[in-house]
Amino acid sequence: MRVDVVSIFPEYLAPLDLSLIGRARATGVLDLAVHDLRAWTHDVHRTVDDTPYGGGPGMVMRPEPWGEALDALAPAGASPPPRLLVPGPAGVRFDQALAAELAAEPHLIFACGRYEGIDQRVLDHAATRMPVTEVSLGDYVLFGGEVAVLVVLEAVTRLLPGVLGNAGSLDEESHAHGLLEAPVYTKPPSWRGHAVPDVLRSGDHGRIARWRRAAGLLRTATRRPDMLAALPPETLDKYDVAT
């Protein structure tokens, strides 16, 4: 997968060299480039922002540098076109389903806004050339899109083939089936007076699977009733009702 990130703070994306994302880059699974938006300015001050039309607080990112950046990174007529992602609090909520969708794309471009955001015409014009998705991490406000890019790329990269050693962990994890995962334990069997649940040490794989299912349901019901309500009823089985 090819990924381009455009930001006025490219250093903010330095963690993308680390850990499993760094390894995905080193092995060629992820071909990622971070670009400084100011490379596409032409004035001596390398201006990227200006005051908002209509008044109001803060500054808005001017369209010209963004237009040139997208011309350079998404050449006209590219097929398939890249998908443009614009992080911001007004976007659609990022979730595991969107992560899976993005993991299937050959080329993503992230446009990181700062200040009050990017002039809307940049998105409107880009949408005539490629799919554009504004994406939000949740209901709170950040300074800019850079941290969201770290989050989205981490969620997407671990879904790319060959990145996770054990692909089975993708299937069992929280959110994979619309439920939170059960708590996990390792050795020792008792620690500071807290014991590991006996069932997990029983060796009975059927009982263990049912315990994990029930524990995941209980967690989901107490912490995320919205997720429980969204579960299609046919995904509940007779054990869920019985335990």
Decide: is 89 part of the binding site for ligand 6GU (CB under 6 A): yes
CA-closest candidate to residue 66, choices 128, 7, 4: 7
CB of 145 to ligand 6GU, least distance (A): 5
Counting beta carbons within 10 angstroms of the beta carbon of residue 103, is it exposed (0 to 12), middle (13 to 18) or buried (19 or more)?
Answer: middle
Q: Applying CB under 6 A, which of residues 10, 65, 82, 87 lies at the interface with ligand 6GU?
A: 87
- Classified as helix, coil or strand, 146 is helix
Distance CA 153, CA 98 (A): 11
Comparison of 53 and 140: residue with beta carbon closer to ligand 6GU: 140
- Classified as helix, coil or strand, 110 is strand
Comparison of 65 and 117: residue with beta carbon closer to ligand 6GU: 117
Decide: is 88 part of the binding site for ligand 6GU (CB under 6 A): yes
Decide: is 137 part of the binding site for ligand 6GU (CB under 6 A): yes
Distances in Å between the Cα of 90 and the Cα atoms of 34, 40, 135, 221 are 24, 26, 7, 28
CA atoms within 13 A on the CB side of 44: 0
Decide: is 133 part of the binding site for ligand 6GU (CB under 6 A): no
Which residues sit in the known binding site for S-adenosyl-L-methionine?
A: 113, 137-142
**Binding segment for ligand 6GU among 42-50, 138-146, 213-221, 222-230 (CB under 6 A)?**
138-146
Both tokens of 147, joined, read: 């941290």
Q: Applying CB under 6 A, which of residues 61, 126, 148, 217 lies at the interface with ligand 6GU?
A: 148
Site for ligand 6GU in 17-76 (CB under 6 A): none
First to last CA, the chain: 44
Both tokens of 119, joined, read: 């002039």
Q: Is the dihedral of CA 222, 225, 227, 231 positive or negative?
A: positive
**Binding segment for ligand 6GU among 20-28, 30-38, 143-151, 191-199 (CB under 6 A)?**
143-151
Comparison of 4 and 211: residue with beta carbon closer to ligand 6GU: 4
**Which residues make up the interface to ligand 6GU (CB under 6 A)?**
87-89, 135-138, 140-142, 144-145, 148
